[in-house]
Amino acid sequence: MIFETIAKTGHEEVVFCHNKDAGLKAIIAIHNTVLGPALGGLRMWPYKTEQEAVNDVLRLSRGMTYKNAVAGLNLGGGKGVIIGDPSRDKSEALFRAFGRFVNSLNGRYITAEDVGIDVNDMEYVFRETEYVTGVHQVHGGSGDPSPFTAFGTLQGLMAALQFKHGNEDVGKYSYAVQGAGHVGSEFIKLLREQGAKVFVTDINKDLVQRCVDELGCEAVGLDEIYDVDADVYSPCALGGTLNAQTIDRIKAKIICGAANNQLATDAIGDELTRRGVLYAPDYAVNAGGVMNISLEIDGYNRERAMRMMRQIYYNLGRIFEISKTENVPTYLAADRLAEERISIIGRIKLPHMGNGGTRFQGRMRGQ
């Protein structure tokens, strides 16, 4: 069953990690290393079944291949999951045991923080392996990626405005921003610096109030955000908010935000295209975080990171062009861009393999 699934998803390697003394049950999935070592976060989650954990790690690692490829990084896609409750099951031994498994892969997989993991956990992983990013800044880590992700989201937005309206005058348009957390609040700051009108909502009322008091935003209700008459809808909270219930309500002609997995289904992406709504694919827009941590691998430099974020503007521009010339929705155009890059770089690196030594079946979304 598991081998059948892996054969379908085209993964190179899937490693099951078990350490009884540490209570470790983890899986590392390496999807594709044609462009470079597989970089992807470690997630800790109380999966109800082992199959659920397998499915998640396979899906997420494949997503990282696409994300890293579109971002222009010399990195492949991988992911790790630990089966456990982050509020109860964390220990030094658990993360050190996981670190030893990462180390045993000799750099084919590089781990990072994801849901349920923080910088302290990464410190333990770091004691056992150098193939880890997202450690504390004192060890050369890059710190909180959110400002970079927000700046990258702004680059994606500018590319979308350019494609849709032929200008990048961010301040001329209005925005409905859903989520004023780490990325959302930084993104709002950038919008307001250019004088844009910003509507904001968040389940955390204090965060909304701060945006009103300190940044001059207009607060709207949690559900009301979908009805706001704004030029751009910017999901910066949860995934799946573009769905059958919301797309009739959203008036914006551009969708550009940092949240992962914004499209509930591919059909929603098709429908947005049919309606003339420009959807900036989430994993291309929010690549700032992964770009930032990728720089830790050869020695982190903040200026270089900021310059790298600018690439998101060009990546989105290419995605929109592919979408137009090949007459496909933007979410598919992003996948094509990733697949083309892996294929061509693969042929350069491994000319004898003809197809770049990689194989794609079906498509992915998000990470």
Interface residues toward ligand NAD, by CB under 6 A: 145-146, 149, 178-184, 201-204, 207, 222, 236-238, 258-260, 286, 289
* Burial bucket for residue 195 (CB in 10 Å: 0-12, 13-18, 19+): exposed
| Contacts with 321 (C-beta within 8 Å, 6 or more apart), sequence order | none
Q: Decide whether 238 or 344 has the Cβ nearer to ligand NAD.
A: 238
* Minimum separation from the CB atom of position 350 to ligand NAD (A): 30
Rg (CA), the chain: 20
E strand map for 137-186: 174-178
* Minimum separation from the CB atom of position 239 to ligand NAD (A): 6
Contact 185, 234 (CB under 8 A): no
* Minimum separation from the CB atom of position 343 to ligand NAD (A): 25
Per annotation, catalytic residue among 67, 79, 164, 253: 79
Q: What Cα–Cα distance (Å) separates residue 246 from each residue in 71, 222, 240, 256, 335?
A: 29, 13, 10, 15, 24
Q: Decide whether 128 or 202 has the Cβ nearer to ligand NAD.
A: 202
- For 260, the 3-state DSSP assignment is coil
Beta pairing partners, 13: 30
Helices and strands (DSSP H and E) totals, the chain: 13, 11
> Sheet of 24-32: strands edge to edge?
13-19, 24-32, 76-83, 38-45, 109-113
* 20: annotated active-site residue: no
* Minimum separation from the CB atom of position 257 to ligand NAD (A): 8
Q: Decide whether 17 or 237 has the Cβ nearer to ligand NAD.
A: 237
Token readout for 253 is 């002609």
* Minimum separation from the CB atom of position 99 to ligand NAD (A): 23
Q: Which amino acid is at 291?
A: M
Closest CA to 297 of 177, 140, 93: 140
Q: Decide whether 52 or 144 has the Cβ nearer to ligand NAD.
A: 144
Q: Decide whether 292 or 358 has the Cβ nearer to ligand NAD.
A: 292
Question: Minimal CB distance to ligand NAD: which residue?
Answer: 181
* Minimum separation from the CB atom of position 55 to ligand NAD (A): 19
Residue 242 DSSP symbol: B
* Minimum separation from the CB atom of position 184 to ligand NAD (A): 5
Rounded Cα distance, 94 and 25, in Å: 9
Q: Decide whether 98 or 187 has the Cβ nearer to ligand NAD.
A: 187
Q: Decide whether 207 or 345 has the Cβ nearer to ligand NAD.
A: 207
Say how far residue 276 (Cα) sits from the centre of its chain: 25
Rounded Cα distance, 76 and 367, in Å: 13
Catalytic residues: 79
